[in-house]
Amino acid sequence: MPLPAFTLHRPRSAADAIALLDEDCLAYSGGTELLMAMRMGLIRPTALVDLKRIDELNTITLGADRLLIGAGASHDRVAGDALVAEHAALLATAERLVGNARVRAQGSIGGNICFAEPRSDVATVLVALDATVLLQSASSRRSVPATEFFLGPYWTAREPGELLTAISIPLPAPAGVYLKFQTVERPTVAVAAVALPEGGYRIVVGAVGDLPVSADYAQLTAVDAADLAARVEPVSDLTGSERYKRHVTEVFVRRAVAALAGGR
Amino acid sequence: MTTSEHLNVTAEINGVNVTESVETRATLAQFLREQLGLTGTKLSCEMQVCGVCSVLVDGEPVSACTYLAADVDGRRVETVEGLANPGGLHPLQQSFVDNFALQCGFCTPGFLMMATALLRRNPDPSEEDVKEYLDGNICRCTGYEPIVHAVLDAARTMRGAT
Ligand SMILES: Cc1cc2nc3c(=O)[nH]c(=O)nc-3n(C[C@H](O)[C@H](O)[C@H](O)COP(=O)(O)OP(=O)(O)OC[C@H]3O[C@@H](n4cnc5c(N)ncnc54)[C@H](O)[C@@H]3O)c2cc1C
Ligand code: FES
Ligand code: FES
């Protein structure tokens, strides 16, 4: 199936890209989501803006108290980056497990969260790490916590004129374990279990429902896997019924907690 | 910066510099197959799942079914046609033959390109590494064991081991 026609823009700076963006003119990096949605007729932009030629979107830098990951960085790039490995190892772990080798080379971390496909490894981990996303339009810059960025399936707080420039992870980032159950291209259930730097623990259950479900606990023994499994809202599909997915959720929460308690 | 329906793409394709006017909406697979006649790159699922369209852009594997031809402008593209040299088959290709790692051969170009990418980043992969890296490629004929063995064998040959 051929793609519908569109105009292509290839700016070299974020500012030039932002000046172009609106409801009909969409940014893309890997195109792993956008081109497929266009081919299926689900999204019909009149113009596209290639972000791959904008160097400033592809940097990973360490600030005084945060790690900044450019929106255009590929999954592979993030997974293999030394700063990410040192300061946000959980993200590197999850990025290594995304999709297949082509999706990891082609797809960007920014495209993953802007598309907001619910079965996302990235979203699950960003919620666990208290990440914020940096959005920039012609007239404003704002920083939105991951928990407020994801509004529903394929729906985020980003306005059409806004470019996601970077993902910001406050340091020290929580450390912990990331477990997922996956039988097809995308995860069925993803669980991040982390020890929070200020004390206590956080469990994030992602991919299984419309939005990641996050809960903090003073002690690991207080984690109630059955309660978390009751709180997610799985969608029945080819990878399992709602009941099955709740069961898998409970099992994976228990495994993640056990792994975290065991110091892995 | 702005172009409409067509744009000029200059790319190094299997070591040869090519400049062509391509439709903005053309995929890399269409460009390679229909415009350049490089039909070694196949198309099947067009959903980035089966891997028969795998090619390398600046050394990185991409799904040519879901990648714009325009995006290779200024870049280096490697397809299965570039693997063999006049002296003979590439060690990976020879190893696929020796290990009976193909039947109909439709999936083979994709597996070869993914294996090329893998062995460049990891010349000495474990069996697990091979399985993991190739799990985005589907073969309907041979089963996967001979393919995995072919890649491991080729890796040994390419490292110069016996
Ligand atoms: C076969 C397959 C398997 C996959 N498996 C997994 C998996 O296991 N886990 C997982 O988490 N994900 C998975 N994914 C999703 C994958 O991670 C995303 O497709 C990819 O990261 C999207 O990045 P992209 O650069 O290709 O996005 P694009 O397709 O280029 O863009 C996606 C959307 O985001 C917008 N956009 C992109 N960048 C920006 C920006 N900087 N600012 C504003 N808007 C922007 C675009 O307008 C578009 O609407 C899979 C995808 C495929 C196709
Ligand atoms: S045709 Fe591209 S992955 Fe199947
Ligand atoms: S040899 Fe026929 S699909 Fe793999």
The domain ranges of chain B are 6-82, 91-159
Is the pLDDT reported for residue B2 higher than 50? no
For A21-65, what is each residue's pLDDT tens digit? 999 999 999 999 999 999 999 999 999 999 999 999 999 999 999
> Is residue A100 included in any domain, yes or no?
yes
Is the pLDDT reported for residue B40 higher than 70? yes
Mutate to test the pocket of ligand 2, among B56, B63, B113 (most ligand atoms within 8 A of CB): B63
Whether residues A153 and A235 fall in one domain: no
Nearest to B67 among A8, A39, A106 (CB): A106
> Is residue A81 included in any domain, yes or no?
yes
Chain B residues with CB-CB distance to A3 below 8 A: 25-27
Ligand 2 contact, B55 CB (< 6 A): no
Nearest CA in chain A to B117: A101
* Domain enclosing residue A232, as ranges: 175-262
- For residue A62, the one-letter residue type is L
Nearest CA in chain A to B115: A101
By three-state DSSP, how is residue A121 classified?
A: helix
Does residue B55 sit at the A interface (CB-CB below 8 Å)?
no
Percent of chain B residues past pLDDT 90, beyond the cut: 93
> Is residue A1 included in any domain, yes or no?
no
Q: How far is CA A215 from CA A78, A234, A250, in A?
A: 26, 17, 14
Ligand 3 contact, B105 CB (< 6 A): yes
Mutate to test the pocket of ligand 3, among B44, B53, B97, B106 (most ligand atoms within 8 A of CB): B106
Q: Chain A: give the shortest CA distance to residue B1, in Å.
A: 6
Residue of B88, B132, B84 lying closest to B112 (CA atoms): B84
Nearest to A101 among B1, B30, B61 (CB): B61
Report CB contact under 8 Å: B71, A31: yes
Q: In CATH, which of 3.40.50.10860, 1.10.150.120, 3.60.15.10, 3.40.50.2000 is domain B91-159? A: 1.10.150.120
pLDDT of residue B162: 54
Task: Give how many domains chain A has, as a whole number.
Answer: 3
User: In the predicted model, what is the mean pLDDT of chain B?
Assistant: 95
With 0-12 / 13-18 / 19 or more C-beta atoms within 10 angstroms meaning exposed / middle / buried, residue A47 is middle
What CATH number is given to the structural domain containing A37? 3.30.43.10
> Is residue A2 included in any domain, yes or no?
no
Q: Write A95-99 long-range contacts (CB < 8 A, 24+).
A: A95/A121, A95/A122, A97/A121, A97/A178, A97/A180, A97/A182, A98/A122, A99/A75, A99/A185, A99/A186, A99/B48, A99/B136
Does residue A168 sit at the B interface (CB-CB below 8 Å)?
no
Report CB contact under 8 Å: B66, A35: yes
For B130-161, what is each residue's pLDDT tens digit? 999 999 999 999 789 999 999 999 999 999 86
Chain B residues with CB-CB distance to A2 below 8 A: 25, 30
Report CB contact under 8 Å: A8, B118: no
Whether residues A117 and A207 fall in one domain: no
pLDDT along chain A (264 residues), means of 10: 93 98 98 97 97 98 97 98 98 96 98 97 98 98 98 97 98 97 92 97 97 97 96 92 96 98 80
List phi, psi (to 5°) of B45. Answer: -70, -30
Report CB contact under 8 Å: B1, A1: no
What CATH number is given to the structural domain containing A132? 3.30.465.10
Q: Chain B: give the shortest CA distance to residue A53, in Å.
A: 9
Q: In CATH, which of 3.40.50.150, 3.20.20.70, 3.10.20.30, 3.50.50.60 is domain B6-82? A: 3.10.20.30
Strands (E) in chain A, as ranges, are: 7-9, 25-28, 47-50, 60-62, 66-70, 132-136, 141-145, 150-152, 155-156, 163-170, 175-181, 189-195, 201-206, 213-217
Q: Chain A: give the shortest CA distance to residue B87, in Å.
A: 30
Helix (H) or strand (E) holding B12: strand B6-13
